[in-house]
Amino acid sequence: MLEMLRGKRMLFVGDSLNREQYVSLLCLLHRAVPEGARSFETVDALSIFRAKNYDATIEFYWAPLLAESNSDDGVEHALDDRVIRGAPMDRHSRFWKGADVLVFNSYLWWITGAKIQILRGADNDLSKAIVEMEAEDAYRLVLHQVVRWLDTNVDPKKSRVFFVTASPTHTNSQLWGEEMEGGNCYGQKAPITDASYRGSTSSAMLRVASEVLGAASARVPVGVVNVTQMSEYRRDAHTQVYRELWAPPTPEQLADPRSYADCTHWCLPGVPDAWNELLYWKLFFPAASDQAL
């Protein structure tokens, strides 16, 4: 893969699930690069891994909603009221220009259960009208913005674009047949074996992404890396309580580990490695991967 990326720039854009896929890829590749021939740095929202012998960079840019929002800080983004900007996304997209491979994702931050607030205008004047939209409508609006940006700024003869579908969560064990209320991924040690299991991933949001990105193929094709269903079965693969904690667990949490188990993010090595294997085939052997699917 490094040889195929020689002289190129690969950029992941999205949220913490996309960052996990990015970190997974670095873990898979870094042993092939001598220690003195690689570097890693993070500046604000941009992380850059350099494989110097290959003149290649693999980067991640934090933009959980793709459009500009009040959640764009790479660290301080846990806000109750999320506002996105309905104007052009120049603040983010200036970092995307020139990438030979773009890998987008955006899903998790759209399913908070509340309507999305959209700020009209291109400055920081919060006194301007804020319009509330259903999450599906706002998601469609932003994905259309991304497609328009791709049409204007990406040469399909030189660059490839991919969109990774929704990463599922496992926060309700009753969905896979357990009778106990309050159960989740905590303590799960085996995958779901029921092939018909579909989980709680929003089919409406998946449909919006499929419709918008499917229409993008007129000029700049967007390859869809469908990781949703393959990940639905992996209730056992989340970080659970083995995650970064910003504060020590309280006595109440320690008494009930389910209450602070992370059933959203994945262990590494783990599920995101499989996502990268699929991305690898779609990137370098598209005909073979399409036949396999």
Asked whether the predicted pLDDT for residue 210 surpasses 90, the reply is yes
Least confident of 10-14, 38-42, 245-249: 245-249
SS3 275: helix
Strand duo 56-62 + 46-51: pairing:
antiparallel
Beta-carbon count within 10 A of 12 CB = 26
Calculate mean pLDDT across residues 158-172: 96
Give the pLDDT score at 89. Answer: 82
pLDDT digits (tens, 9 = 90+) for 91-103: 899 999 999 999 9
**How far lies 78's CA from each of 81, 106, 109, 211, in Å?**
9, 16, 11, 30
More confident residue, 122 or 224: 224
Strand duo 56-62 + 83-85: pairing:
unpaired
In percent, the amount of the chain with pLDDT more than 90 equals 71
More confident residue, 62 or 126: 62
Give the pLDDT score at 11. Answer: 98
Active-site residue list: 16, 262, 265
Asked whether the predicted pLDDT for residue 162 surpasses 70, the reply is yes
